[in-house]
Amino acid sequence: MNYILFDGSSRDQLLPFTFTRPVADLRIGILTIREKWEKILGTTTSTITEDYLAEKWPMVEFEQNIMINASFLPTPEFIAQIEDLKLNQAIFFEEDVIAFYAEEDQEVDFEVFEQIELKGEPFRIANIWDIFSKNAEAIAKDFELLTADRTSAPISSSNYVKNRENIFIEPGAIVENSSLNASDGPIYIAAKAEVMEGCFIRGPFSLGESSALKMGAKIYGATTIGPHSKVGGEVNNSVIFGYTNKGHDGFLGNSVLGEWCNLGADTNNSNLKNNYAEVRLWDYATEGFAKTGLQFCGLMMGDHSKCGINTMFNTGTVVGVSANIFGSGFPRNFVPSFSWGGSAGMSTYKTAKAYEVAEMVLSRRGLEFSDVDKGILDKVFEDTQKFRRD
Protein backbone atom coordinates (compact mmCIF):
# COMPACT_ATOMS: atom_id res chain seq x y z
CA MET A 1 0.00 0.00 0.00
CA ASN A 2 1.11 3.56 -0.75
CA TYR A 3 0.76 6.05 2.10
CA ILE A 4 0.57 9.82 1.63
CA LEU A 5 0.66 12.28 4.53
CA PHE A 6 -1.32 15.48 3.98
CA ASP A 7 -1.15 18.76 5.90
CA GLY A 8 -4.82 19.03 6.89
CA SER A 9 -6.67 21.92 8.50
CA SER A 10 -4.11 22.47 11.28
CA ARG A 11 -1.37 23.67 8.96
CA ASP A 12 -1.93 27.41 9.57
CA GLN A 13 -2.09 26.86 13.34
CA LEU A 14 1.41 25.35 13.16
CA LEU A 15 3.07 28.35 11.54
CA PRO A 16 5.84 29.56 11.55
CA PHE A 17 7.20 25.99 11.53
CA THR A 18 5.06 24.93 8.56
CA PHE A 19 6.25 27.88 6.47
CA THR A 20 9.31 25.78 5.65
CA ARG A 21 8.16 22.15 5.96
CA PRO A 22 5.05 19.98 5.69
CA VAL A 23 3.20 19.13 8.90
CA ALA A 24 4.61 15.59 8.59
CA ASP A 25 8.14 16.86 9.14
CA LEU A 26 7.53 18.53 12.49
CA ARG A 27 9.51 16.92 15.30
CA ILE A 28 7.77 15.96 18.53
CA GLY A 29 9.15 13.32 20.85
CA ILE A 30 12.26 11.62 19.49
CA LEU A 31 11.14 11.34 15.86
CA THR A 32 9.41 13.54 13.31
CA ILE A 33 5.77 12.72 12.58
CA ARG A 34 6.81 11.21 9.24
CA GLU A 35 9.47 9.05 10.87
CA LYS A 36 6.90 7.70 13.34
CA TRP A 37 4.47 6.69 10.59
CA GLU A 38 7.16 5.20 8.35
CA LYS A 39 8.61 3.09 11.14
CA ILE A 40 5.18 1.77 12.14
CA LEU A 41 3.93 1.21 8.58
CA GLY A 42 7.24 -0.28 7.43
CA THR A 43 7.41 1.83 4.28
CA THR A 44 8.26 5.27 2.98
CA THR A 45 5.65 8.01 2.64
CA SER A 46 5.19 11.06 0.44
CA THR A 47 3.33 14.31 1.01
CA ILE A 48 0.47 16.55 -0.02
CA THR A 49 1.45 20.05 1.05
CA GLU A 50 1.57 23.66 -0.16
CA ASP A 51 2.52 24.12 -3.81
CA TYR A 52 5.73 26.01 -3.01
CA LEU A 53 6.93 23.14 -0.78
CA ALA A 54 5.98 20.39 -3.24
CA GLU A 55 9.24 20.41 -5.23
CA LYS A 56 11.17 19.50 -2.08
CA TRP A 57 8.44 17.19 -0.73
CA PRO A 58 6.62 15.80 -3.79
CA MET A 59 3.58 13.56 -3.72
CA VAL A 60 4.07 10.06 -5.11
CA GLU A 61 0.77 8.46 -6.11
CA PHE A 62 0.21 4.76 -6.87
CA GLU A 63 -2.89 2.99 -8.15
CA GLN A 64 -4.09 2.47 -4.57
CA ASN A 65 -3.40 5.09 -1.89
CA ILE A 66 -4.19 5.75 1.74
CA MET A 67 -4.03 9.41 2.72
CA ILE A 68 -3.32 10.28 6.38
CA ASN A 69 -3.76 13.65 8.08
CA ALA A 70 -0.23 14.32 9.38
CA SER A 71 -1.40 16.31 12.41
CA PHE A 72 -2.71 13.03 13.84
CA LEU A 73 0.05 10.90 15.32
CA PRO A 74 -0.15 7.09 15.30
CA THR A 75 -2.05 5.41 18.12
CA PRO A 76 -2.87 1.68 18.29
CA GLU A 77 -6.54 2.30 17.50
CA PHE A 78 -5.81 4.64 14.60
CA ILE A 79 -3.21 2.28 13.12
CA ALA A 80 -5.65 -0.66 13.28
CA GLN A 81 -8.36 1.36 11.53
CA ILE A 82 -5.95 2.47 8.79
CA GLU A 83 -4.86 -1.12 8.18
CA ASP A 84 -8.53 -2.14 7.85
CA LEU A 85 -9.50 0.67 5.42
CA LYS A 86 -11.21 -0.35 2.20
CA LEU A 87 -11.53 1.60 -1.03
CA ASN A 88 -13.84 4.64 -0.70
CA GLN A 89 -13.79 4.56 3.09
CA ALA A 90 -12.75 7.55 5.22
CA ILE A 91 -11.97 7.93 8.91
CA PHE A 92 -13.32 11.07 10.56
CA PHE A 93 -12.63 12.82 13.84
CA GLU A 94 -15.32 15.40 14.51
CA GLU A 95 -15.44 17.38 11.24
CA ASP A 96 -11.94 16.47 10.08
CA VAL A 97 -11.07 13.74 7.58
CA ILE A 98 -8.02 12.07 9.07
CA ALA A 99 -7.51 9.17 6.67
CA PHE A 100 -9.09 7.82 3.49
CA TYR A 101 -8.50 5.18 0.82
CA ALA A 102 -8.72 6.25 -2.84
CA GLU A 103 -7.48 5.25 -6.26
CA GLU A 104 -5.05 7.22 -8.42
CA ASP A 105 -6.61 10.33 -10.01
CA GLN A 106 -9.92 9.60 -8.29
CA GLU A 107 -12.18 12.59 -7.66
CA VAL A 108 -12.75 12.36 -3.94
CA ASP A 109 -16.25 13.12 -2.66
CA PHE A 110 -16.52 12.34 1.04
CA GLU A 111 -20.31 12.51 0.87
CA VAL A 112 -20.31 9.22 -1.06
CA PHE A 113 -17.48 7.66 0.97
CA GLU A 114 -18.34 5.34 3.81
CA GLN A 115 -17.60 7.42 6.89
CA ILE A 116 -15.97 5.79 9.91
CA GLU A 117 -15.49 7.46 13.27
CA LEU A 118 -12.03 7.36 14.84
CA LYS A 119 -11.82 4.92 17.74
CA GLY A 120 -10.05 5.84 20.95
CA GLU A 121 -8.52 9.17 21.93
CA PRO A 122 -6.61 10.97 19.16
CA PHE A 123 -3.03 12.12 19.61
CA ARG A 124 -3.12 15.33 17.61
CA ILE A 125 -0.84 18.33 17.10
CA ALA A 126 -3.39 21.06 16.46
CA ASN A 127 -1.47 24.12 17.70
CA ILE A 128 2.21 25.09 17.94
CA TRP A 129 2.18 24.86 21.73
CA ASP A 130 1.10 21.21 21.47
CA ILE A 131 4.64 20.47 20.27
CA PHE A 132 6.10 21.09 23.73
CA SER A 133 3.02 20.47 25.89
CA LYS A 134 2.52 16.95 24.46
CA ASN A 135 6.21 16.16 24.17
CA ALA A 136 6.37 13.93 27.27
CA GLU A 137 3.79 11.56 25.81
CA ALA A 138 5.50 11.62 22.41
CA ILE A 139 8.93 10.81 23.87
CA ALA A 140 7.50 7.88 25.82
CA LYS A 141 5.80 6.43 22.72
CA ASP A 142 8.87 6.89 20.53
CA PHE A 143 11.15 5.41 23.19
CA GLU A 144 9.02 2.27 23.28
CA LEU A 145 8.97 2.10 19.48
CA LEU A 146 12.72 2.56 19.05
CA THR A 147 13.96 0.35 21.86
CA ALA A 148 11.62 -2.64 21.60
CA ASP A 149 13.61 -5.90 21.72
CA ARG A 150 16.90 -3.97 21.81
CA THR A 151 19.60 -3.53 24.45
CA SER A 152 21.21 -0.22 25.32
CA ALA A 153 24.94 0.29 24.97
CA PRO A 154 26.63 0.12 28.37
CA ILE A 155 26.31 3.24 30.52
CA SER A 156 29.68 4.41 31.81
CA SER A 157 30.26 3.96 35.53
CA SER A 158 31.39 7.59 35.69
CA ASN A 159 27.71 8.64 35.56
CA TYR A 160 25.10 8.88 38.31
CA VAL A 161 22.18 6.81 37.02
CA LYS A 162 18.62 6.44 38.29
CA ASN A 163 16.10 4.06 36.67
CA ARG A 164 18.70 2.51 34.37
CA GLU A 165 16.06 0.40 32.61
CA ASN A 166 14.47 3.63 31.34
CA ILE A 167 17.68 4.85 29.68
CA PHE A 168 18.81 3.87 26.18
CA ILE A 169 22.15 4.87 24.69
CA GLU A 170 22.88 4.08 21.07
CA PRO A 171 26.30 2.67 20.12
CA GLY A 172 28.77 5.44 19.39
CA ALA A 173 27.27 7.95 21.83
CA ILE A 174 29.50 9.42 24.56
CA VAL A 175 28.08 10.04 28.04
CA GLU A 176 30.54 10.67 30.89
CA ASN A 177 30.52 12.18 34.39
CA SER A 178 26.89 13.28 34.27
CA SER A 179 23.61 12.68 36.11
CA LEU A 180 20.90 10.69 34.28
CA ASN A 181 17.60 10.54 36.18
CA ALA A 182 14.90 8.64 34.28
CA SER A 183 12.43 8.45 37.19
CA ASP A 184 9.86 10.70 35.51
CA GLY A 185 10.38 9.54 31.94
CA PRO A 186 12.82 7.85 29.55
CA ILE A 187 16.17 9.18 28.40
CA TYR A 188 17.30 8.44 24.83
CA ILE A 189 20.78 9.32 23.54
CA ALA A 190 21.25 8.77 19.80
CA ALA A 191 24.33 7.58 17.95
CA LYS A 192 27.30 9.98 17.72
CA ALA A 193 25.72 12.26 20.34
CA GLU A 194 27.77 13.51 23.27
CA VAL A 195 26.79 14.45 26.82
CA MET A 196 29.77 16.38 28.14
CA GLU A 197 30.94 16.33 31.74
CA GLY A 198 28.80 17.74 34.51
CA CYS A 199 25.40 17.64 32.78
CA PHE A 200 22.24 17.09 34.81
CA ILE A 201 19.42 15.40 32.87
CA ARG A 202 15.89 14.57 34.03
CA GLY A 203 13.70 12.59 31.66
CA PRO A 204 11.74 12.54 29.52
CA PHE A 205 14.63 13.58 27.30
CA SER A 206 15.97 12.85 23.82
CA LEU A 207 19.32 13.89 22.35
CA GLY A 208 19.52 13.50 18.59
CA GLU A 209 22.24 12.04 16.41
CA SER A 210 25.51 14.01 16.34
CA SER A 211 24.20 16.53 18.88
CA ALA A 212 25.99 17.67 22.02
CA LEU A 213 25.07 18.81 25.50
CA LYS A 214 27.70 21.31 26.61
CA MET A 215 29.42 20.98 29.99
CA GLY A 216 27.23 21.71 32.99
CA ALA A 217 23.93 21.80 31.08
CA LYS A 218 20.77 21.45 33.18
CA ILE A 219 17.96 19.70 31.33
CA TYR A 220 14.44 19.24 32.66
CA GLY A 221 11.87 17.07 30.87
CA ALA A 222 10.09 16.87 28.66
CA THR A 223 12.82 18.08 26.31
CA THR A 224 13.87 17.05 22.80
CA ILE A 225 17.07 18.12 21.10
CA GLY A 226 17.05 17.02 17.48
CA PRO A 227 20.08 16.00 15.40
CA HIS A 228 23.21 18.10 14.81
CA SER A 229 22.56 20.62 17.60
CA LYS A 230 24.60 22.03 20.47
CA VAL A 231 22.86 22.99 23.70
CA GLY A 232 24.07 24.44 26.99
CA GLY A 233 22.62 26.28 29.96
CA GLU A 234 19.17 25.51 31.39
CA VAL A 235 16.40 23.98 29.28
CA ASN A 236 12.92 22.97 30.43
CA ASN A 237 10.12 21.27 28.44
CA SER A 238 11.31 22.44 25.03
CA VAL A 239 11.68 20.99 21.53
CA ILE A 240 14.59 21.84 19.23
CA PHE A 241 13.98 20.40 15.77
CA GLY A 242 17.63 20.03 14.74
CA TYR A 243 20.66 21.82 13.27
CA THR A 244 20.20 24.53 15.90
CA ASN A 245 22.53 25.87 18.57
CA LYS A 246 21.91 27.21 22.04
CA GLY A 247 25.50 26.70 23.04
CA HIS A 248 25.80 28.86 26.13
CA ASP A 249 24.22 29.70 29.48
CA GLY A 250 20.72 31.11 29.57
CA PHE A 251 17.20 29.75 30.09
CA LEU A 252 14.93 28.21 27.46
CA GLY A 253 11.57 26.98 28.72
CA ASN A 254 8.28 25.75 27.25
CA SER A 255 9.58 26.62 23.82
CA VAL A 256 10.04 25.31 20.28
CA LEU A 257 12.97 26.16 18.01
CA GLY A 258 13.05 25.23 14.33
CA GLU A 259 16.14 24.34 12.29
CA TRP A 260 19.20 26.51 11.60
CA CYS A 261 18.54 28.79 14.56
CA ASN A 262 21.20 30.21 16.87
CA LEU A 263 20.72 31.77 20.31
CA GLY A 264 23.51 34.10 21.44
CA ALA A 265 25.21 33.67 24.81
CA ASP A 266 23.00 34.35 27.84
CA THR A 267 19.80 34.50 25.79
CA ASN A 268 16.81 33.99 28.10
CA ASN A 269 13.10 33.62 27.60
CA SER A 270 10.25 34.13 30.04
CA ASN A 271 7.75 31.28 30.20
CA LEU A 272 5.45 32.73 32.90
CA LYS A 273 3.79 36.14 33.06
CA ASN A 274 4.37 38.25 36.16
CA ASN A 275 0.63 38.19 36.91
CA TYR A 276 0.39 34.42 36.26
CA ALA A 277 -2.24 35.08 33.58
CA GLU A 278 -2.99 32.87 30.60
CA VAL A 279 -0.46 33.28 27.78
CA ARG A 280 -1.61 34.51 24.39
CA LEU A 281 0.35 33.71 21.21
CA TRP A 282 0.37 35.27 17.75
CA ASP A 283 -2.04 33.40 15.46
CA TYR A 284 -1.18 33.64 11.77
CA ALA A 285 -4.66 32.47 10.74
CA THR A 286 -6.51 35.30 12.53
CA GLU A 287 -3.58 37.76 12.41
CA GLY A 288 -4.04 38.46 16.10
CA PHE A 289 -3.16 37.05 19.49
CA ALA A 290 -5.00 33.89 20.56
CA LYS A 291 -5.54 32.27 23.93
CA THR A 292 -3.49 29.15 24.56
CA GLY A 293 -5.08 27.98 27.81
CA LEU A 294 -1.52 27.75 29.18
CA GLN A 295 0.12 29.47 32.10
CA PHE A 296 3.59 28.41 30.93
CA CYS A 297 4.54 29.21 27.34
CA GLY A 298 7.84 30.60 26.08
CA LEU A 299 9.45 31.15 22.67
CA MET A 300 8.41 29.86 19.25
CA MET A 301 11.19 30.52 16.71
CA GLY A 302 10.99 29.61 13.02
CA ASP A 303 13.79 28.23 10.84
CA HIS A 304 16.93 30.29 10.14
CA SER A 305 16.20 32.85 12.86
CA LYS A 306 18.96 34.03 15.19
CA CYS A 307 19.48 36.33 18.14
CA GLY A 308 22.48 38.14 19.59
CA ILE A 309 24.15 37.98 22.98
CA ASN A 310 21.97 38.73 26.05
CA THR A 311 18.71 38.72 24.09
CA MET A 312 15.57 38.67 26.28
CA PHE A 313 12.29 37.21 25.00
CA ASN A 314 9.01 37.91 26.73
CA THR A 315 6.46 35.26 27.64
CA GLY A 316 4.72 33.90 24.57
CA THR A 317 6.96 35.32 21.84
CA VAL A 318 6.60 34.13 18.24
CA VAL A 319 9.54 34.74 15.89
CA GLY A 320 9.05 33.97 12.22
CA VAL A 321 11.48 32.61 9.65
CA SER A 322 14.91 34.16 9.01
CA ALA A 323 14.71 36.95 11.59
CA ASN A 324 17.82 38.50 13.14
CA ILE A 325 17.26 39.93 16.62
CA PHE A 326 19.74 41.89 18.74
CA GLY A 327 20.10 44.76 21.21
CA SER A 328 18.91 45.53 24.73
CA GLY A 329 15.35 45.33 26.00
CA PHE A 330 12.55 42.98 24.98
CA PRO A 331 11.63 42.72 21.29
CA ARG A 332 7.95 42.58 20.39
CA ASN A 333 6.20 39.32 21.24
CA PHE A 334 5.55 38.85 17.54
CA VAL A 335 8.60 39.24 15.30
CA PRO A 336 7.66 38.82 11.61
CA SER A 337 9.74 36.74 9.26
CA PHE A 338 12.76 38.51 7.72
CA SER A 339 12.90 41.14 10.47
CA TRP A 340 16.19 42.79 11.48
CA GLY A 341 16.58 44.62 14.81
CA GLY A 342 15.15 44.53 18.32
CA SER A 343 13.24 46.55 20.88
CA ALA A 344 14.49 49.82 19.36
CA GLY A 345 12.80 48.98 16.07
CA MET A 346 12.77 46.54 13.19
CA SER A 347 13.61 46.83 9.52
CA THR A 348 13.46 44.26 6.73
CA TYR A 349 16.24 41.70 6.66
CA LYS A 350 17.19 41.80 2.99
CA THR A 351 16.97 38.40 1.34
CA ALA A 352 20.39 38.63 -0.28
CA LYS A 353 22.02 39.01 3.15
CA ALA A 354 19.78 36.35 4.74
CA TYR A 355 20.59 33.84 2.02
CA GLU A 356 24.30 34.57 2.27
CA VAL A 357 24.14 33.62 5.96
CA ALA A 358 22.02 30.53 5.25
CA GLU A 359 24.52 29.34 2.64
CA MET A 360 27.43 29.72 5.09
CA VAL A 361 25.56 28.02 7.94
CA LEU A 362 24.55 25.00 5.84
CA SER A 363 28.02 24.68 4.34
CA ARG A 364 29.47 24.27 7.84
CA ARG A 365 27.42 21.05 8.05
CA GLY A 366 28.48 19.92 4.59
CA LEU A 367 25.07 20.79 3.13
CA GLU A 368 24.00 22.97 0.22
CA PHE A 369 21.59 25.90 0.32
CA SER A 370 19.86 24.92 -2.90
CA ASP A 371 17.75 26.88 -5.37
CA VAL A 372 14.76 24.94 -4.03
CA ASP A 373 15.52 26.10 -0.49
CA LYS A 374 15.90 29.66 -1.75
CA GLY A 375 12.58 29.41 -3.58
CA ILE A 376 10.83 28.32 -0.37
CA LEU A 377 12.25 31.29 1.54
CA ASP A 378 11.36 33.64 -1.32
CA LYS A 379 7.75 32.55 -0.94
CA VAL A 380 7.87 33.00 2.85
CA PHE A 381 9.32 36.50 2.36
CA GLU A 382 6.51 37.37 -0.05
CA ASP A 383 3.71 35.91 2.09
CA THR A 384 4.86 37.64 5.28
CA GLN A 385 5.49 41.08 3.77
CA LYS A 386 2.23 42.42 5.24
CA PHE A 387 3.49 41.81 8.79
CA ARG A 388 6.63 43.93 8.37
CA ARG A 389 6.31 47.67 8.95
CA ASP A 390 8.89 49.09 6.57
pLDDT tens digits, residue range 286-334?
999 999 999 999 999 999 999 999 999 999 999 999 999 999 999 999 9
| Cα distance between residue 312 and residue 309, in whole Å | 9
Of all helices (H) and strands (E), which one includes residue 36? helix 33-41
Of all helices (H) and strands (E), which one includes residue 39? helix 33-41
| Cα distance between residue 211 and residue 200, in whole Å | 16
pLDDT of res. 86: 95
Full DSSP string of 318-358: EE-SS-EE-SSSPPPSEE-TTEEEETTEEEE--HHHHHHHH
217-237 residue pLDDT tens: 999 989 999 999 999 999 999
Of all helices (H) and strands (E), which one includes residue 300? strand 299-301
Three-state secondary structure call for residue 65: strand
pLDDT of res. 109: 87
From first to last of its 390 residues, the chain has per-residue pLDDT tens of: 999 999 999 999 999 999 999 999 999 999 999 999 999 999 999 999 999 999 999 999 999 999 999 999 999 999 999 999 999 999 999 988 999 999 988 888 888 899 999 999 999 999 999 999 999 999 999 999 999 999 999 999 999 999 999 999 999 999 999 999 999 999 999 999 999 999 999 999 999 999 999 999 999 989 999 999 999 999 999 999 999 999 999 999 999 999 999 999 999 999 999 999 999 999 999 999 999 999 999 999 999 999 999 999 999 999 999 999 999 999 999 999 999 999 999 999 999 999 999 999 999 999 999 999 999 999 999 999 999 987
Full DSSP string of 129-195: THHHHTHHHHHHHHHHHHHTT--PPPPPTTSEEESGGGEEE-TT-EE-S-EEE-SSS-EEE-TT-EE
Domains, the chain, with CATH or none = 2-126 (3.90.550.10), 131-387 (2.160.10.10)
Q: pTM higher than 0.85 for the full model? A: yes
pLDDT of res. 237: 98
Contact between residue 322 and residue 377 where contact means Cβ atoms under 8 Å apart: yes
The three-point CA angle 210-215-216 to 5° equals: 130
